Amino acid sequence: MPHSDPMDSAERYAWLQSELARLDHAYYVLDTPLLPDSEYDRLYRELIALEQVHPDWVRPDSLSQRVGGAALKEFTSVKHAVPMLSLNNAFDDAEVMNFDRRCREGLQQNQVTYAGELKFDGLAISLRYENGLLVQAATRGDGSSGEDVTANIKTIRAIPLRLQGNTIPAVLEVRGEVFMHLADFAKMNQEAARLGEKEFANPRNAAAGSLRQLDSKITAKRPLSFFAYGVGACEPQSWLPKSHSALLDQYLSLGLPVCAERKVLSSVDDILSFYREIGSKRDRLPYDIDGVVYKVNSFAEQAELGFVSRAPRFALAHKYPAQEALTTVLGIDVQVGRTGAITPVARLAPVEVGGVTVTNATLHNEDEVKRKDVRTGDTVVVRRAGDVIPEVVSVVLERRPNDTKAFEMPSRCPVCDSHIERVADEAIARCSGGLFCGAQRKQALVHFAHRRAMDIEGLGEKIVDQLVDNNLVRTPADIYRLGFTAVANLERMGEKSADNLIQAINQSRTTTLARFIFALGIRHVGETTAKDLANHYQNMHALMDATGEDLLTVRDVGPVVADSITGFMQEPHNREVIEQLLASGMVLSVEEKKVSAAVAGKTFVLTGTLPTLSRDEAKERLERAGAKVAGSVSKKTDYVVAGDDAGSKLTKAEELGVPVIDEAAMLGLLAQE
Ligand code: D41
């Protein structure tokens, strides 16, 4: 509808404000987006356009205020109407039990009810709402006064600029934590890395750094979030419910974000199970927490307990072991994975992280080491989250000794001395040793024996492990030298299974060239490429000696695949293994009956002259794929393949409604698996 009439557009403007606020609430507080981003953006742009025409309409809670304003010279200081207290910490169960005992004794009750919630690792702030409107936001500072960060806070979409609902108090100070979701943090750091900007060491620093920006336009670009967990001033006091858990429920109805991971707990046992329950899912939470918090649930009881110095007697933070620690790098090694992937690993002076002694930490890949510029001798931040491999997060540059050298990737595999290769566009460097490399041997053997490769039934991971560990098999060629006794002596291997395995090995000698090529486990050579290579080269030696240039003429082989094949074939060990295999009595056929699901069992009729295939070739291909080729068209015909000068068969097909396709379509059907 057109909005030229002033009444009309004023109404439209009001609607846009409330609609966008509703969408923000759904997205950022309830986690349930209602509209696609593009639709949201359209409404938002409409709002901005109206504000440009009517600047006098812009209010402090207009959503356009979320983009930030003029940069400040410095933050002004704000005195908190009600001080922001700090939390006492507990690090073990005994301290928690003492807390519960003190609460029970202080209240002269046998039992106290607590509210359990998460302890977010961010920045504590206080939001002041007057008659529902967000008027001021301040950091905790020293607890009595903090910094005015109102402009920055307004850019956080999870924080409502105006409270919702019918019972809004005249004054409400909402306390809570500003933090960053792990996914947002990772994305932000990736973008910073891409632009060559400074990256933040962790989400907490990122949140703090973003909130302390004097330029709120920068804060607006940072993906900050917020959870409410406390209250400061409130007028009238009668607005407050009777308990902490009820307060958080009431916050939700005002449109404030409250974390759903909370529970009312009625004993110290409950408390400790809450701690463990959250602890077990800590690593799966989408944000960092450093503990849980227990609060006496009843506000009357809280008041009765009061506080000592600046910490309430009614609340306790129960911390989890830190996930980060500082240590020094003793050296940087590279490890070879089961797929040949080369991973740089920092050897560390032993340090306890999250209750476990860490001596090694992954550096992921060459680019990561270069980006973080980790060097032997450096002091580094190490992080260990749950079962995840410890990693080096960052270097403390201030502590770098004078004579350090930048890391260089070795050129040869530490296990088998084959060349280490890095394909363009890939972050991972790999050992080219393939079948020969000890680190890759088991994986290579399991792949070799796989049902879709050499199809050696009974030669799975467990048997391969034993064969390799007992030095019976090093390369696939060794499989064909295995004797009955050696196999029968393996653990959990009866005579019958040993016999079956030996038979399966013998049978696998007769196979197709394509399977043989696939079984070699050349990187980027999957089943289809293996078939194409087999069809193209027809024998193994032709493929072994193919040049990169020649390989590029094979269907679907591009530079990456060609490089991978020539790299593999250039390693003398690989050639040796192939020669031994060929000498062990392999019978490799070139053509494999490839049953195509789209064609098998179907009846085809050929008519006219096809552009590339002769009638016989077409017939042979169809039959090899499991189709019947008939001489005349009937109701039972599934397809008529028509070329130039097709005659009566084409007319007949059209009469009967039989699908008529051309050669290209037929080849398409044949190509389907
Ligand atoms: O998640 C937190 N970091 C958190 C901090 C929390 N869940 N609850 C808290 N409760 C309080 C009281 C009980 C004093 C209202 C707190 C904090 N305080 C707090 N954060 C920083 C200083 C104090």
What pLDDT does residue 313 have? 95
Question: Is 619 one of the catalytic residues?
Answer: no
229 lines ligand 1 (CB under 6 A): yes
16, 47 contact by CB (below 8 A)? yes
CA distance 527 to 530: 5
| Range of lowest pLDDT (21-35, 216-230, 418-432, 637-651) | 418-432
Model-level pTM greater than 0.75? no
**Ligand 1 atom with minimal separation from the 315 CA:** 13
What pLDDT does residue 554 have? 87
For the residues 511-530, what does the mean pLDDT come to?
91
Which of 81, 397, 125, 68 has its CA nearest to residue 256?
125
Residue with tokens 């600029």, as numbered in its chain: 161
Which of 546, 241, 226, 571 has its CA nearest to residue 430?
571
Q: How far is the CA of 29 from the centre of ligand 1 (A)?
A: 20
What pLDDT does residue 566 have? 94
- pLDDT-above-70 percentage for the chain: 98
CA distances from 634 to 628, 647, 659 (A): 13, 15, 12
**Ligand 1 atom with minimal separation from the 121 CA:** 3
Using DSSP, state whether 460 is helix, strand or coil.
coil
Exposure class string for 79-117: b at 16+ Cβ within 10 A, else e = ebeebbbbbbebeeeeebeebbeebeebbeeeebbbbbb
Nearest CA to ligand 1 atom 9: 229
Q: How far is the CA of 229 from the centre of ligand 1 (A)?
A: 7
Q: What is the DSSP string of 22-90?
A: HHHIIIIISS---S-HHHHHHHHHHHHHHHHH-GGG--TT-GGGGG--SPPSSPPEEE-SS------EE
What pLDDT does residue 437 have? 84
Residue 527 in this model has a pLDDT that exceeds 70? yes
143 lines ligand 1 (CB under 6 A): no
Residue with tokens 């306790």, as numbered in its chain: 316
Q: How far is CA 332 from the centre of its chain?
A: 26
Which of 408, 328, 421, 338 has its CA nearest to residue 366?
408
Residue 434 in this model has a pLDDT that exceeds 80? no
86 lines ligand 1 (CB under 6 A): yes
CB within 8 A of 41, min separation 6: which ones?
none
Q: Tell me the residue ranges of DSSP E strands in 184-249.
A: 224-235
What pLDDT does residue 432 have? 84
CB within 8 A of 133, min separation 6: which ones?
60, 61, 161, 162, 163
- Report pLDDT digits (tens) over 325-378: 999 999 999 988 877 889 999 999 999 887 789 999 999 888 889 888 999 999
What pLDDT does residue 498 have? 92
295 lines ligand 1 (CB under 6 A): yes
Q: How many CB atoms lie within 10 A of CB 75?
A: 18
**Ligand 1 atom with minimal separation from the 293 CA:** 7
395 DSSP assignment: E
312 lines ligand 1 (CB under 6 A): yes
Residue 281 in this model has a pLDDT that exceeds 60? yes
120 lines ligand 1 (CB under 6 A): yes
For the residues 511-533, what does the mean pLDDT come to?
91
Nearest CA to ligand 1 atom 14: 85
